[in-house]
Structure 1
Amino acid sequence: MSVQAQGRHYFNPQACPVGGVRVAAPKATGRKKAAHPHDLTEVEHDHDFNELVIVTAGRALHHLKGFTYPIAMGDVFLLQREDRHYYSDRDGLELINIMYDPALLEMPTDELRQIPGFNAMFLFEPMYRRQHRFESRLHLAPVDLQSTTRLASTILDEVEQQRPGYAIAAKTKLFELMIALSRQYDRTETTEGQSLLRLGSVIGELENSYDQPWTLEDMAEAAHLSPSQLVRVFRKATGQTPLNYLIQLRIRQATRLLEDSDLNITQIAHQVGFTDSNYFSRQFRRCMDATPTRYRRAHNYLAR
């Protein structure tokens, strides 16, 4: 029966929703010893947090959601909350596990999603893991593994030593690690990884060019998928259709202009990609439960 690893055993959810552990290779004594308190490495379990796994040495079999994949030094992958897994047949396996709760972390999602490799690795690879038989995972060359290990180790040091400011430092270094891994994924050359990068680039293009006259057909062409395939995959990864994602993105940008500028409603609508200010107002009210004018009055001191 699967057990659950709980975030409170690895980090303080209120103070700093980031933690981490090193999992060392078992000693050659025939006796197994826990690598850290609450060590579930060889016990089937899931989590109430996300876990970023960096394989720093050795190899093993990874049993994940009913399937088995070989892993080896240089592999990096994300385990999402409630992903049921464990390891077996460990041969010198050493890991760094970085744990975090995305619901508490206040991640800079808009900025991260501008990187195709972030979308490929953190959104789409977990979805396609079974179909791709784990071939779309990130695999680091030795020199990249060294730099990644150093960066991950600074996160472990911060949460272990808990010096003043450690919570901000740990979160900042986690974002730095995510960006570094995303950029490394951008360079992946596997067929499976390239297919995920094409999907990731669609989100990146939307984040960077939300004001352009996108159609579903444009997005599907960029992803090398049919429109219906893109809708299905996109909804599974983000919870929204591509066009609804674009509308929400435009509305988020509009809220910033309503808060920080004195542009009129029509100007803001056009600046974020809406050609019809009435349609913009309807979509804004649907997303924000307020008209643009009412939202501005509540949030923009220039309008008070």
Structure 2
Amino acid sequence: MAVLARGEDYFGKEGFPVAVRRVRTEPDGGPSHLHDVTEVDHFHDFCELVLVLSGRGRHVLEGQSFPVSAGNVLVVQGSQVHAFRERDGLVLVNVMYDPERLPLPEGLLRRLPGYSALFKLEPSFRTAHRFSSRLDLGREDLGVAEVLAERLAKEEQGKDPGHEALRLGLLVELMGFLSRRYGESEAGESRALLRMGRLISTLEQQYAEPWTVAALARMAGLSRTNFLRTFRQATGQSPIGFLIGLRVESAKRLLRQSDRSMTAIAHDCGFGDSNYFARKFREATGRTPTEFRRRPLE
């Protein structure tokens, strides 16, 4: 039976939810750190970014086994049951973080096509792709990622004033670096995930366009059914729900910063008319656009 690796064991009950642990294959098979469950089937109530620094072994994920070696990068989402077995000199760096408790700049990160592909899509499609959609880093890039993780660990250990801001910044830098490297991947399965990542990035930039599900599915190179399933896995929302969220956020900015009419704002944000705009805005915020303009900070 899989065990739950609890975030509070790594972050502390009220601690900042970013932690780094280095895992070595010890000669006696012993743990590398307190609460080391590397070889035990386990799942998390947080997310984990794994850098394979050296050695080799097998990653068992949801009952399927894949070989891992130096340069592999894995993102493990909280509910995924996994373990590392048959470790031969395997050295890992585990960067653990709780996205539910961190102010990650998701909107900005998703402008990197590789971010959605690596951090949202690849973990869900790893078994279907037999790990062929993974990120592999060369020696130089692996060194850069390791240095960022070491700096993050140093801030965690020192806890000097402002360490939370620096840890968040280093985590975002590491995510951005790996996302860019994933965006350069040539593997067929990776390219398919990147198409979806680019589509999400396009929607972030061009949310006011009159998008349809059919047009978006064509852009992604997927059938309508596969597209809808894949998009929800990537964002947690339907394509139309995602678009409406982007449009509402844009409308909120215009309501705070301008005196444009409701009709003009609805048009600029991609809503068909002011009545539809008002209805969707209220569904999302609990207030009408007029009420929001009067009290934008409530």
| Same-fold status (TM-score > 0.5) | yes
Unmatched 5+ residue regions in structure 2? Answer: none
Aligned residues of 2:132 and 2:189 also touching (Cα < 8 A): yes
What is the aligned partner in structure 2 of residue 173 from structure 1?
170
What is the aligned partner in structure 2 of residue 103 from structure 1?
100
Matched, 1:60 2:49: no
Q: 1:13 deviation in Å?
A: 5.4
Q: Distance in 1 between matches of 2:134 and 2:297?
A: 45
Aligned residues of 2:71 and 2:142 also touching (Cα < 8 A): yes
Other structure's SS at 1:188 match: coil
- From 88, 92, 109, the equivalent of 1:91 is 88
Q: 1:263 deviation in Å?
A: 2.2
What is the aligned partner in structure 2 of residue 227 from structure 1?
224
Other structure's SS at 1:10 match: helix
What is the aligned partner in structure 2 of residue 23 from structure 1?
23
Aligned residues of 1:260 and 1:300 also touching (Cα < 8 A): no
Q: Distance in 2 between matches of 1:128 and 1:268?
A: 39
What is the aligned partner in structure 2 of residue 4 from structure 1?
4
Other structure's SS at 1:107 match: coil
Matched, 1:240 2:237: yes
Other structure's SS at 1:62 match: strand
Matched, 1:72 2:66: no
Other structure's SS at 1:52 match: strand
Aligned residues of 1:17 and 1:105 also touching (Cα < 8 A): yes
Work out the percentage of aligned pairs sharing the same amino acid: 44
What is the aligned partner in structure 2 of residue 43 from structure 1?
40
Give the TM-score, by structure 1 length. 0.94
Give the TM-score, by structure 2 length. 0.96
Q: 1:18 deviation in Å?
A: 0.6
Amino acid at match of 1:10: Y
What is the aligned partner in structure 2 of residue 197 from structure 1?
194
Other structure's SS at 1:278 match: helix
Unmatched 5+ residue regions in structure 1? Answer: none
The CA RMSD over aligned residues, in Å, is 1.4
Amino acid at match of 2:67: P
After superposition, the C-alpha distances for 1:222-272 in whole angstroms (9 at most, x for unaligned) are: 101122321122123323211121111111121122223222222221221
Aligned residues of 1:43 and 1:86 also touching (Cα < 8 A): yes
Aligned residues of 1:7 and 1:48 also touching (Cα < 8 A): yes
Other structure's SS at 2:85 match: strand
Aligned residues of 2:231 and 2:237 also touching (Cα < 8 A): yes
